[in-house]
Structure 1
Amino acid sequence: MEKRTGVVTFAGNPITLVGPEIKVGQQAPYFTVLSNDLQPKTLKDYEGKVKVISVVPSLDTGVCDAQTRWFNQDATGLSDDVVVLTISMDLPFAQKRWCGAAGVDKVETLSDHKDASFGTNYGFLIEELRL
């Protein structure tokens, strides 16, 4: 698997990203994540819809929390042919709990925890932290 070091930093230190760099215009790579009810989900499950993908390490952090709440609020004005997906490394149970506590019901949260398929295929997986 391709690894890229020094592309980004965390707390001022270089980290290793696992997976290829995605280029503008490239077809979205395949991935499998888990829904809050532990069902596998892929891009095919959202075929025919415009997909907005928001990626966060964990919903239980300030910036990730704010980002997901913002997308949830913004999604209320979108048509039915648009789906907003937030993908994190949180367990599906934690995502479901967080959504309930935060009142998030317009964004679908999906977990990449099981095998990091999304993070690896999109070149976002931080090797040192598995985030």
Structure 2
Amino acid sequence: QILLPVNGSPASRRAAEVSFVLARATGARVNALYVSQTDGHARTRSREEGVLKDIAQLAERYGVRLSTQISKRRAAAEAILTEARGRHGLIVMGVSPRPGEELFFGNTAAMVFRAWENPLLVIAS
């Protein structure tokens, strides 16, 4: 299975497209994970569900099997790693470079890079 962390960003959507191409070519299933770090207001929940609905429609166009879930954790990297361990052979993440002297994609990506020992495909914006 492929784990696809999503957040509604353009980089996340590009990562979804790449994961769907891989899934279609290999027959793998994709699990889209939205990590909610908010208080759960209806408007926020609607946005989260909208992101997952958009990803589901995209998966349908690619003809791949998709499951979706929302994780309620404070630390996105922890949620991604917890979901990935034991169930997924690949994580496909969309990332955006942060300004600075060194290449950096944010704390969540950095934590996943350090902790995940299996294949990880990073799609940069």
TM-score by length of 1: 0.39
TM-score by length of 2: 0.40
Q: Higher helix proportion, which one?
A: 2
Q: Higher strand proportion, which one?
A: 1
Structure having the higher Rg:
1
